[in-house]
């Protein structure tokens, strides 16, 4: 929990600085300590986290919508990008904080659908060359609590998402929240409707991961 709070406190400050200071280049790890300040010891850790969160929210709420700054996924504007990215960043780490208790608070369906779209078409949807090696397999996902269907062709080192197509090696149906948590590797497939080759979900968990590249 200490590592989690320190991580998300750093990320909130890192994100807010891009908007507040109109940074046009990514803030690297060498600047992170200067921006976020020293990491506090346990007695001050929660208040340090809350302060960074409040600053992030105020920065995004008060920012000029036309603010130009660095971002790394498609979005209507840099401010819209950072608001969306930090909403999903914080939401997934909330699940991490809740996980030791064995029960995760579900995300609202529309929020979860947007989070799946961001993961598949943002992080994983960047153009790549054709798959090499073994033939890719297809994972189909369907939300049971509202609109939301996705298909993902998964190769050894390629992931290609789409919302169209027929046939799948593995199909998974569940609430949008459960699918969102599944794709982010925050829950297993227990309780979801899985048909076909379930080993594809194991492959996803072992190989499809998003990592933070600017730790202190």
CATH of the domain at 141: 3.30.1050.10
Q: At which of 101, 128, 161 does a domain end?
A: 101
Q: Are residues 71 and 132 in the same domain?
A: no
- Answer whether residue 213 is part of any domain: no
pLDDT above 90: residue 98: yes
Question: Quick one: tokens of 180?
Answer: 């969102």
Q: What pLDDT sits at residue 127? A: 53
Into how many domains does the chain fold? 2
Rounded distance between C-alpha atoms, residue 67 and residue 78, angstroms: 7
- Answer whether residue 106 is part of any domain: no
Question: Quick one: tokens of 57?
Answer: 């929210």
pTM reported for the whole predicted model: 0.92
- Answer whether residue 215 is part of any domain: no
Query: Where does residue 76 rank: exposed (0-12), middle (13-18), buried (19+ CB within 10 A)?
Result: exposed
Q: Which domain holds residue 179?
A: 116-207
- Answer whether residue 197 is part of any domain: yes
Q: What pLDDT sits at residue 157? A: 74
3-state SS track over 178-204? HHHHHHCCCCCCCCCEEEECCHHHHHH
Inter-helix orientation angle 78-98/42-62, to 10° = 150
Provide mean pLDDT across the span 25-30: 91
Q: Are residues 84 and 125 in the same domain?
A: no
Provide mean pLDDT across the span 42-66: 97
CB atoms within 10 A of CB 216: 12
CA angle (118, 124, 126) in 5-degree steps:
100
Q: Are strands 137-143 and 170-174 parallel, antiparallel or unpaired?
A: parallel
Cβ within 8 Å of residue 17, ≥6 positions away: 23, 27, 35
pLDDT above 90: residue 16: yes
Average predicted confidence (pLDDT) for the chain: 93
Check residue 86 and give left, alpha or beta (phi > 0: left; psi -120 to 50: alpha).
alpha
Measured over the CA atoms of residue 44, residue 45, residue 46 and residue 49, the dihedral's sign is positive
Rounded distance between C-alpha atoms, residue 148 and residue 116, angstroms: 9
Q: What pLDDT sits at residue 99? A: 95
Rounded distance between C-alpha atoms, residue 159 and residue 128, angstroms: 9
The tens digit of pLDDT for each residue in 113-151 reads 999 999 999 999 765 544 445 678 999 999 999 999 999
- Answer whether residue 134 is part of any domain: yes
Q: Using CA atoms of 61, 65, 66, 67 in order, give the dihedral in degrees to the nearest 10.
A: 20
Residue 19 CA, chain-centre distance (Å), reads: 19
Using alpha carbons, select from 176, 165, 47, 155 the residue that is nearest to residue 106.
176
């Amino acid at each position: 929990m200490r590592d989690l709070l320190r991580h998300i406190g750093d990320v909130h400050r890192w994100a807010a600085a891009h908007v507040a200071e109109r940074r046009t280049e990514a803030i690297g790890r060498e600047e992170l300590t200067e921006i976020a300040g020293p990491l506090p010891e346990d007695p001050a850790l929660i208040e340090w986290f809350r302060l960074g969160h409040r600053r992030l929210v105020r920065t995004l709420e008060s920012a000029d919508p036309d603010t130009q700054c660095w971002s790394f996924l498609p979005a209507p504007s840099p401010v819209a990008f950072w608001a969306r990215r930090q909403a999903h960043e914080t939401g997934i780490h909330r699940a991490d904080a809740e996980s030791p208790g064995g029960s995760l608070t579900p995300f609202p369906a529309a929020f979860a659908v947007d989070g799946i779209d961001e993961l598949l078409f943002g992080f994983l949807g960047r153009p790549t060359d054709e798959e090499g090696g073994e033939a890719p397999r297809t994972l189909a996902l369907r939300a049971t609590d509202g609109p939301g269907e996705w298909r993902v062709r998964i190769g050894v080192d390629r992931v290609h998402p789409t919302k169209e197509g027929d046939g799948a090696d593995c199909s998974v149906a569940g609430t949008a929240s459960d699918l969102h948590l599944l794709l982010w590797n925050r829950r297993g497939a227990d309780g979801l409707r899985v048909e076909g080759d379930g080993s594809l979900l194991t492959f996803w968990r072992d190989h499809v991961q998003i990592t933070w590249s600017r730790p202190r």
